[in-house]
Structure formats: C-alpha cells, structure tokens
Structure 1
C-alpha cells in the first residue's frame, strides 16, 4: 500500500502540474509572446525575459517600476488591456474602492481605502484612456463649430487655445457660466481690465503724444463706417482725444501700395511679368490634384495675390522665384504631362513660361526694381514708432533703384518719376523730414547732409507746433543740437546712438535742451501709417453679427471697446521692447502674406489661412469685396 500511496501522490502532483500548465496556456496574454523554458520572447520587441505571464503583462503594460523593462513597440490596444489586467479598470475601481484626489502638484492621493498609484502610474492611466476619449472630444468640437456657424480658423486663435487649456486644467467638474453671468459679470470684468490698460496708455501721452488714425469704408449693405484709432508707443489702439496744434499726415503704407500700383499700370515690362506670375499661381491653385502635386514637388506654398494690397504681387513673384528649380522639374515630370488638367491653353502657357529662361530673368529684374520700395513698406506696415526713419528709408530706396536700373534709362526714369510723384504727394510730410533731422543716429552719420526739406520741417514745427512762449528757446536749442554740442553729445549719448530708439535717446539724453526734447520725443514716438487701423475695419461688424443683433448699443460698444483693447494688450510687451531699440533699415521684418480669399484647390484647401492678431476671422471675406482705389486725402 505504501508503494500505492507513492504512486497516487506522484500522479496527483503530475495532475496539479498539468493543470497549472493548462491554466497558464489558456491565459490570453500568451498570444503576445513565445513561451520558452522558464522564459518568454515578446512578439513586438523580440526581447527575451525570464518569468511567466505576470511579468509578460508588466512588460506589455508600459507601467514602469515593476522589475521588468517595458515594451516600446506594443500596440495601443494591447497596452491598454495589459494595463487594466494589472491595475484594474480605473472607472470601476473608483466606484468600488473609494476615490482618488489629485493635489495641487498633480500627484494622485488615494482616499477611503483606495490603492494609491504614484505620479508615474497616474500619468500612464491618463494616457491609456485619452486616446479614445480624444476622438470623442474632437467630434464634439467639430459639431460645436458646425452648429454655431463658427469659422474653422478659430482653432488657431490664441484665445481659443487658452480656453481649452484652462478647462482641461480645471478638470471634469467645470460648469459653464450662465448666459446672465456671462453678460452681467464676466464681460464687464474684461472691460475693466481693458480700461486699466487704456489708463496706463493714456498716462504715456503727456510725454510721447499720440496719433489719431481714421479709416473709412462702405460694407456690402451700403453702410458707411469710419474707424478712428488713437495710437501711442505704449500700445496703439482705440484711444480718442482732442489735442491742440495737431497736424495731418497720410498713411505711408497706403502711399507705397499706390506707388506699386502706379508702376504696374505705367511700366509695361513690370506689368507683363506680374501678370504671367499670377497666371502660374492661379493655375497651380485652381485644382486640388494639381495643387497637391505642386506642394509635393516644391515642399512650399506659393503666395496669393490680394486685390486690396498691391505689394502682394511682389510676394507672389518672389515665392515663384524661390522655387524656380523645383517648378522647372515639376512641369517636366510625367505627372504634369499626363494630367488632363494640363491640356488646355492656360496650362500650356504656364508650361512654356516655367521652362523659359527669359521669364525667370525678367522676373528677377522686376524683383530687383521693386525690392527697395517693398523694403520701405516693411518698415511702416505695422506697429511701432517709425517717423524718425521714413525719410532716410525713402532716400535709400531711391538710390537703390537708380543703382539697379541706371543702365537702362527708359526703365529707370519712368520709375523714378513715379517714385517722386508719390513720395512728395502721398508719403513724405514736412514732419517726417524734421523727424529725420531729430533722429540723432541719422544726423551723426558721416555722410549725413542736411537738406532743404529738413529745414522746412523744422520751420513747420516752429509755425504749427511750438507754443509762443517756447519759440525763442526752441530755435536756440535746435542750433545747439545741429552743431553737435558736447553739452548734449557726451560719451553716454554717443554710445546710446547705437543702442536706443531715437525717442528713448531724447528722453534720456535731452535734458540740456528741454524744449526741443519735449517735441522731439513726441514726434519720434509716432507711426507713419494707419495699417493697424485698417486691420481693425470690422470691429463693430464683428460684434453685430446675426446672433448678436439684438444687443443694446451700449453692449455693442462695450464688446468692440473690450475686444480691440484686449488685442492691443497682447502686443503691449512686444511693442514696448520694440520701441526701446533702434531700427536697422538693413534688417527689417518680412511682409506677412496679405489675406484675401484664402483660396486653395477648388476651394477645399482654404484652411491654409493663418490668423493675424488683429484680423477679424469672421469677416475675412470683406477684403475681397473692396476695390483697390486711390483714396482722396
């Protein structure tokens, strides 16, 4: 019997062993690994580890700190299953074992008997579920945009991104404020913040003065609008006031756009090239398939012409020249030749142009001729105190045009005539000539020559700006400044010529000449264009959309006032630092692409438009309805 007991015991142990093997084999996670003797080989990363299914699950779950290296190639669905197998379903555990709070530092704290997972495990838990949840949230967002007729470009706006981040940081317990709370509390709070900002800006006016900008237009319904904006170096938006001894200047940016238009109309060699460039751009963006092929071939976007900004034609031409080699290869490719979209007359003309050396040579000549004018436009087309630089920039542009076209008198003289006509009639005001003289860095240059226009500018100041009791001191101090007296041009002042904006230089170094200092700071603090004003054309219309047309006039005014000053606040720090440093006319920012109709192939690629900080996204369509006209000043 003893032997029989031994046999029975061995059989029993064998059965237990076999049962364990069967159970182990049935675990569904073994399909993700190859079983070896006492080890396993992961099917995803092909690495071999010792242990059984528990270590396999740990390996696949990507939960660190479980005495095994995690798999970096495991599919998301397998990783999720392994994580749940180890940690349990978070939603079920929250109901059955208590709650988990999150402290201010973002670490999880277990409460009421629940198991606590450290910060690393908690992060992994979020990663497991956010993939599926994100798709649901994205669809809800899409539905929200559709049902409320919101422009898709809003997703690119900084304010929308900030909103999403704030809601996500708050958590799932966030409740949307009521209509009444939004209207009676939250909007007024934003207005108070804007008023605080406006008060800060106004306080700078005593020193710097300000420019009042106005811009008029008519909408599609025949309504006439006048946009009035007060600009100061501190910010530059929506401030009104009446000041004695005002003077009126024209928008230099608009004058330069008109100059480019004049050249297009009167210089045939320029017009032909621009028309050909627009033909190429139009054909490339006319069809989705062709556009996709072009993008793949060039790895770049072409710029688009804008009917209200003639400098956009320069950008179109420049973008073509930048990808000349890629376009040549593209129109010679099999994809281009075999496409049915390239069988018509326009396509054949485009092919001929792109393969024509003469076209590219003429295009580069036009760019050379127009670049000096566009360079000045880059100076003035935006925010910033530029009045002390406009005169010098225009003189440099004129000399550059002469240098580049001087060998061809017919081409040069016509552009020179058009340049002078617009310069004197629409761009340079006597105050700009005076500002050039009052720019100490410009006046102290070796090649500086005081022109008749500068003297006339000082005379304009004397007659129109200087108070009667200050006129005698003003003239004396102008002479001291012109003579570069050591009273003001000491070693500190000479060093600051290279490091400071002219208005900052006068504010810091001009104490020996108090009267001249006061007026120099004010003049040198002003802009040369109303570009920032034009970008805010539709502020009132933006507030008075169909969904808001029952708002009171007071609420409409509050919305416009608040919106525009919030936008200005966003630029406050940038403008402050920008207006502390001198402007290098050789290193100006590039022109942004002018937004017109946001076109893309067959209208389905229009999402390429990027938001600019002062552009009303809901009313971008307005630009394409405006004809580029010579406004009467």
Structure 2
C-alpha cells in the first residue's frame, strides 16, 4: 500500500480512490469501478468472488426482511446499522491512510449509494410515519380549513348513523388505526366488500383452536353422577354460563345423569351426547351380533397373516397395485368395518395372488400357516356375508367420517344423514327384511335414546340446502 492508494502485490498497480470495496472488486474480477487484476492467482480470485457474493446476498436478505415489515411501523431504522455495516471480510485488507477521492469519484460513489438504497431506506426512514399516534401532523393537514375537516367528520358520522353503529366504538384502539391505514392508501382506495368482510377477512381475524382449561386427577374417586356434577359445576362457574354455548359428553349413564342435573341448575346450558360416540356405539352393537363377530374373526386371520409376513405383504401390494387392506378410521370399531371393505374390494386380487406361480413355487407357500391362509380366501360363505355386512355398515361409517371431520360443522347434516342411512339399508335389503331387522333395531334404539335431539332438528331446519331447491337459492 502507498500513501494515496492501495498497491496490488500481484501486478504492482496502485488503485487510487474507491476504497476497500473497489480493491476487492479488482482482485475478484467483478464488473464495477475497477478492472480485473490479470496476475492474481485463480484460487485468490475465486475466494474473493465468494466473499463478494456472500456479502451481496446478506444485504439483499436484510432488505427483503425490511420490505416485509408493516409500512406504518417506525422500526425501519433498527436495521440501518446492520445494512450498511462493513462486511465481516473487510478486515482482510487495511488502508494505510484515508483516500481523498476526486470530485468525479465522489459523485460516482454517491450515485452508487443512492442506487443501492431501497425506497423505504431513503430520507423517509429518518422520520416517524404520519400514521402513528402522536406523530407530527403534515403541513397539508395543518393548513386544511375547518370546513374540509368537518366534511370528513360528517362523512364518518353519516356512515355510523346510517348503519346504527354505537358511538362508543370510536373509543376502540382499532378506530384510529383504520383511519390511519385509509389515509396512507390515498384517495383511490376502495373499501372491502360485503363478501370480503364476511369471508376471508373474518377468517383472518378469528383465531380458532382448542384451549386447555384444567385437568383433574380422579383416579381415586368413583365416577358417580354426583361427583361428575360437582366437577362440571366448578367448570361452569369458572367459565361463566354465559360463555358456554354447548355442553357435550359421552353417552355413559353417569355422564348423562350429571349433565341433566347441570341443565336443571343452569337453564341456559344445552347438553347433548357426542354424536360420534353414538355412531361408534351403533357400530359396536352391530359388531356384537354373532354373524358379524364370526366374519370379523375370519377377516382378522386374513389380515394378521398378510401383515405379519413380509413375503405375503409384498405379494399383496403387488397384486393390489399398491393399495392397502387396512386403512385408518376415526374409531376402533369403524376400523374393523373399513377393513372388511378393503378385503372385499381386493377379493379377486387376493385369490389371484395365492394361485399365481410366484406364490405356489415359493417355499413360504409350503408352510402350514400359508395353507390355512389360502383356505380362508376360498370360503364362499365368508365373502357373501362380508358383502352383506359391508352394505349395512358402509353408510354408518360414512356418517361417522362426516361427523368426525373438521372441514365443516356437521350439526346441520346429522339428522338428514341418519335418515338416509336407514333408508339406504332398507332399500339395499328390500327383499330380505328379516336379514336387516336386527340392524334397524340397533339403529332405532340408539337414535331414540341418545341422538333424537331438538338440536339436530333445528340444524336441519335452518340448513338452506334442505329447505330450498338449488335453483331457488
């Protein structure tokens, strides 16, 4: 290095002006304010290029972060020092003395600095935004006449009076924020529409989720209706009955009795049993029938062998095109009936598997368990009874999936769905009423005792889908 510049040790050229950044560009061979050094080794040139690119990407990342911030927030200057601080690699070459650039060089540097600054990091970033509370008023707003200000106030008051908005809403902290946001948008801004407010804007302003309230260690207590009633009562008093819309429990007798006591004390609380638990109990009752239990046991033997033997599992996936027999379901009892659907759907594929040359020539096919498995697949009564049970249970499993889904509220669909289940069962077994009779009795018993509530009737009645034709909506 010399007195008025920096000396390149590779080509002995003196760079006067531009500072350390220009010297780095000279060594790296990047296009800019300096030509590339022709004698610098390739390893040094590559290292300097990596340093330069890393510094550029780091500054770009910080600028992008600033651009994503709230335009009304005064926090832009918090990152200024980081934005324009020297790079961590700037200490590799030190200058002997400060450089006194010529006027032309200064003008070039100033132009480059302005070009590098994002719009939001220029002179405006050194002043607080006009839209924050307590900020200095603009000269235009100060010079506005009283008539113009009153005209704006009248427009706001007319909107409030015409729509019956309470006057105390102006005390909300969001009132001035809304006005500031509108003012910052300018005269061309158009407010959100009716559909926007009731649609995605409403969704964005409402945080949905489950809140954990408390847990109770009741392992040493007997779950009598009195004990459950006291526990529920404590929760109601803590939350306040005005904040309780719906009270839901499972269908056990003690829970139902405790809930009725709660309804008698707090008249505004409406209780109903869990609909998903009711459907699950219907499937459980169906599974206890002898003919259904026998088919379930037969199906378990088939699935147990397949999923406990790698050779059989790989063969099954090959012949079914990658489809599984066992699929997840909302509840344990629903899983059993879904498994029957899977086995029935793959009946031909399973039979083709065990009669293929790949299976018969395998050493695994010689085992006793494999031979028993093959026999299970060729029991004709199993497949006929399996088809019957699937036709009966499939509508119930479908309703359970609707109730257990979080995609949409199921309250308005339950009544119509349950009537369709019964109607579909009777239609499928129109000529075999004695066959379907035990299943209908189970369905009616659970429905009349647990699910027949005014709540579901009201949900059905208030659902426009069931009250009007599509052409009328």
TM tier, shorter chain?
0.3 to 0.5
- Give the TM-score normalised by structure 1: 0.35
TM-score scaled by structure 2? 0.45
The structure with the larger Rg is 2
Larger RCO, structures 1/2 (Cα 8 Å, 6+ apart): 1
